[in-house]
Chains A and B, each alone.
Chain A
Amino acid sequence: MAIIEVKNLFKTFQAPGGRVVAAVDNVSFSVEVGTCLGIIGESGSGKSTLGRLLLRLHEADSGSILLDGQDIRALGAAALRKQRQHWQIVFQEPFASLNPRLSIRQIVEEPLIVARTYKSRAEKQEKVVRTLDEVGLSAEFLDRRPANLSGGQQQRVGIARALVTDPAIVVLDEPTSSLDLTIRASILRMLSELQRARGLTYVFISHDIDTVRHFCTRVAVMHRGRFIEVGTAHEVLNDSREPYTQKLLAAAMPRLTYVPPADTVGPDTLIAPKVVTA
């Protein structure tokens, strides 16, 4: 069953000088429940804009977005706010996306307070602690502030607050790009486990082809606001006929060809990928 259905989505921006730039140009796709759609493309291809349109953080010009069968472009402001607990987003820069004045507890419980899905304070507290535990942070972090956490820990907080309202859909906008390699692997592994345990649907926006290859079921290639192609990760990243995709893959420096060991395909293989330079 498709949980995300996007049809003929358009979004233009007015560039300085009166030029009109099509950030998202007639994009249609759907995502099945519990899968992950990877969106790759170079900077400025419109992939982040697409992620924000999907959650109505920006308003699309035209087209339809159905999340769980509901046309979110038709929702009024109050109804939209109420529905937001079901779809969340994780940003690229963890520190910039956390309010530096709030404690970790306040940051994580804020979406819960907006959604009002708890009956007592104890229940709220328990939910916060449990979610932090799921992302690998102990309760001792509750009263710290973002500035006292490492980049990886900050991103775990970013993920915890996205998951605390039990959303069905999570947009991951380059969640690991600003992290170093070892932390990146452990965060991706954690996201993968969370997806399996909670049956989450991910839209994974990235320019890192290798990450997308391991993480996503299906992959879309975006260029100048358009989808060049959509297919399974294998189809798009190994057997693509599209010249642009081939160019994009070729441009990934250094050119890496991943040879997965047949028996260990899974998130764990990210820790020590066998890399063959072509």
Chain B
Amino acid sequence: MIRYITSRLAIAAALLLGLMTLSFGLVSLLPGNPAVALLGDYATPSDIARINSQLGLDKPFWERYLDYMGRVLRGDLGNSFFTGNPVAQDLWTRLPNTLVYLVPGLLLALVFGVAIGTMAAYRSGRLPDKTFTVGVSVLMAMPEFVLALVLLFIFYQKLHIAPAPLGMLSASDIPPPKVTGSLLLDAVIGGNWTILASVMSRAALPVVTIGIFFAAPFGKTVRTGLLQILNSPQIEFARACGLRPMQVYRYALSDVRASLMTYMVLLFAAALSGSAIIESVFSWPGIGGWSLDGVLKGDLPVIQGFVLVMGAMSLLGYVALDTLITLLDPRARELAIRPRGRRRQILPAAAGGKTRQNDSMKTS
């Protein structure tokens, strides 16, 4: 098992190197000159040349590439062209702000999705199922920010129970003393629970937005998977031998578990890269708005840093996912742990499990 995980990590590391190269290459190919963006349209050629040499943009491609790779491997992601802040530090202070609403939001989506998907599957063809189908279609057709605005309209404008969408803290909140630079971590370290509570109350609407928005794909997966398994002889037998309904449900759900976990990681990656939208609506000082800003201004180190960190997190997510699925599914486990020579004979069954999982990914 440990060998399996290390091999996965090694693959992830190799992929990450590839990703760094790719992001560097693609960003260099981007049209537009950062020096022009920095100085404005009326800059003189000599000014542009000066800025270019300051930023190191006048060096040949390979030199810049090797320089970049070397710096990144030492943990230096460069400085923003515009603010001059180290990118690594910006990421470090902003990433927790994004995760603080993203992770609870996805967990809420999972719980909510499993609940409504289960209800739809157990009452298939009847009113709850039909309501579910309509609701999911509407949710899937609706852009995330529309949902966010609708929720804001209801809970802030009409009911006055949500705080204004003006960031993580209100003007009256006193930020905790700086230790790590990240507001949330500082609040936790300093034991400043009122600040934390204030942040959480402001995070509620983003959490609910993500919870509802991403519940649709979860619910759909659960409904499709459960419908299939609930009508299978396997579940029929479980009922026939007198298992309690809860246990029968647990068996049925374990069949959907792998595709749910796959979705969780996929949606995590999707939500991270889509965080710019939610953060714009709620003026949230997270990583999304920051990277959007960087992209619009052509701030190369910011874009590269963002791509790198998102890629690393997604890859880590996939390694964790593979490991979990392997641990939970005996078929995949046997495939992963058995010595090479004996793999062939058990391949068909395990391959069956894998394809099904891939199918469910495709249907997204």
Residues of A participating in the B interface, judged by any CB pair closer than 8 Å: 52, 55, 57, 80-85, 88-89, 91-93, 96-101, 103, 110-111, 114-115, 145, 147-148, 161, 165
Q: Is the CB of B237 within 8 A of A89?
A: yes
Q: Is B29 an interface residue (CB 8 A)?
A: no
Residues of A within 8 A of B331 (CB): 100, 145, 147
Decide yes or no whether B43 CB sits under 8 A from chain A. no
Closest to B348 in A: A147
B232 at interface, CB cutoff 8 A = yes
Q: Which of B108-116, B167-175, B239-247 contacts A (4 or more CB under 8 A)?
A: B239-247
Selected contact of B242 from candidates A93, A98, A103, A111, CB within 8 Å: A111
Tell whether, in the assembled complex, residue A148 and residue B346 are in contact, meaning their CB atoms are under 8 Å apart. yes
Q: How far is the CB of A52 from chain B (nearest CB, A)?
A: 8
Does B254 sit at the interface, judged by CB under 8 A?
A: yes
Which B residues are CB-close (under 8 A) to A93?
233
Q: 9 pairs across A/B with beta carbons < 8 Å?
A: A55-B240, A81-B242, A83-B242, A84-B240, A89-B237, A92-B233, A97-B236, A147-B349, A148-B346
Contact between A111 and B241, CB atoms less than 8 A apart: yes
Tell whether, in the assembled complex, residue B242 and residue A91 are in contact, meaning their CB atoms are under 8 Å apart: no
Residues of chain B contacted by A147 (CB below 8 angstroms): 331, 346, 348-350, 352
- B251 within 8 Å of A (CB atoms): yes
Look across to chain A and name the residue whose beta carbon is closest to the beta carbon of B352: A147
Say whether B234 faces chain A, with CB atoms less than 8 Å apart. yes
- CA A145 – CA B348 in complex, angstroms? 13
Q: Is the CB of B234 within 8 A of A101?
A: no
Contact of B233 among A82, A85, A96, A103 (CB under 8 A): A96
B254 pairs with A101, CB closer than 8 A = yes
- The listed residue (A89, A92, A98, A101) touching B240 by CB distance below 8 A is A89
| Docked pose: A222 CA to B305 CA in angstroms | 71
- Interface residues on chain B, size class: 20 to 34
CA separation between A64 and B346, bound complex, in Å?
A: 48
- Please give the distance in Å from A217's CB to the nearest CB on chain B: 24
CB of B233 within 8 A of CB of A88, answer no
Query: B243 touches which one: A88, A89, A114 (CB < 8 A)?
Result: A114
Task: State the Cβ distance, A79 to closest chain B Cβ, in Å.
Answer: 10
Q: Does B234 lie within 8 Å of A114, measured CB to CB?
A: no
A55-B233 Cα distance, complex, nearest whole Å:
14
B329 at the interface (CB under 8 A from A): yes
Decide: A145 and B330 in contact? CB cutoff 8 A. Answer: yes
Interchain CB contact under 8 A, B236 and A91: yes
List chain A residues, Cβ under 8 A from B237: 89, 91, 97, 161
Say whether B236 contacts A57, CB under 8 Å: yes
Shortest 10 CB-CB contacts between residues of A and residues of B: A147-B349, A97-B233, A84-B242, A111-B241, A81-B242, A91-B233, A114-B242, A96-B233, A89-B240, A97-B237
A101 and B233 contact, CB distance less than 8 A: no
Nearest to B241 among chain A residues (CB) is A111
- A148 B349 Cβ-Cβ under 8 A: yes
Which residues from chain A contact B346 at a C-beta distance below 8 Å?
147-148
Q: Report the bound CA distance from A81 to B247 in whole Å.
A: 13
Residues of B within 8 A of A161 (CB): 237, 241
Whole-angstrom CA separation of A183 from B239 in the bound complex: 28
In whole angstroms, how far apart are the Cα atoms of A11 and B350 in the complex? Answer: 40
Using known A-B contacts A81-B242, A114-B241, determine if residue A98 contacts B234 with beta carbons closer than 8 Å: yes
Query: A55: which B residues are within 8 A, CB to CB?
Result: 240
How far is A97 from B238 in the complex, measured between Cα atoms in Å?
9
From A99, A111, A148, contact of B251 by CB (8 A): A99
Quick one: CB contact mask for B190-232 with A, threshold 8 Å, 1 for yes?
0000000000000000000000000000000000000000001
Cβ contact of B241, chosen from A103, A110, A148, cutoff 8 A: A110
Q: In the bound complex, do residue B241 and residue A57 qualify as a contact, i.e. CB atoms below 8 Å apart?
A: no
Highest count of chain B CB atoms <10 Å: which of A52, A80, A89, A92? A89
B residues in contact with A103, CB < 8 Å: 330
- Give every chain A residue within 8 A of B241 (Cβ-Cβ): 84-85, 88, 110-111, 114, 161, 165
CB contacts (< 8 Å) of A96 on chain B: these are 232-234
Tell me, rounded to whole Å, the shortest Cβ–Cβ distance linking A173 to chain B. Answer: 9
B303-336: CB near A (< 8 Å → 1, else 0) gives 0000000000000000000000000011100000
Question: In whole Å, how far is B157's beta carbon from the nearest beta carbon of chain A?
Answer: 44
Residues of chain B with a CB closer than 8 A to A88's CB: 240-241
| Minimal Cβ-Cβ distance residue in A for B345 | A148
A81 to B254, CA, bound (A): 22
Interchain nearest-CB distance for B244 vs A (Å): 7
Q: Which residue of B lies closest to A98 (CB)?
A: B234
B244 contacts which chain A residues (CB < 8 A)?
81
Cβ–Cβ contact B242 & A99, under 8 A = no
In angstroms, Cα B238 to Cα A101, docked, is 13
Tell me how far the C-beta of A157 lies from the nearest C-beta in chain B, rounded to whole angstroms: 11
Residue on B with the closest CB to A14? B125
B267 to chain A minimum Cβ distance, whole angstroms, is: 25
B225 to chain A, nearest CB (A): 14
Contacts of A82 in B (CB 8 A): 242
List chain B residues, Cβ under 8 A from A99.
234, 238, 251
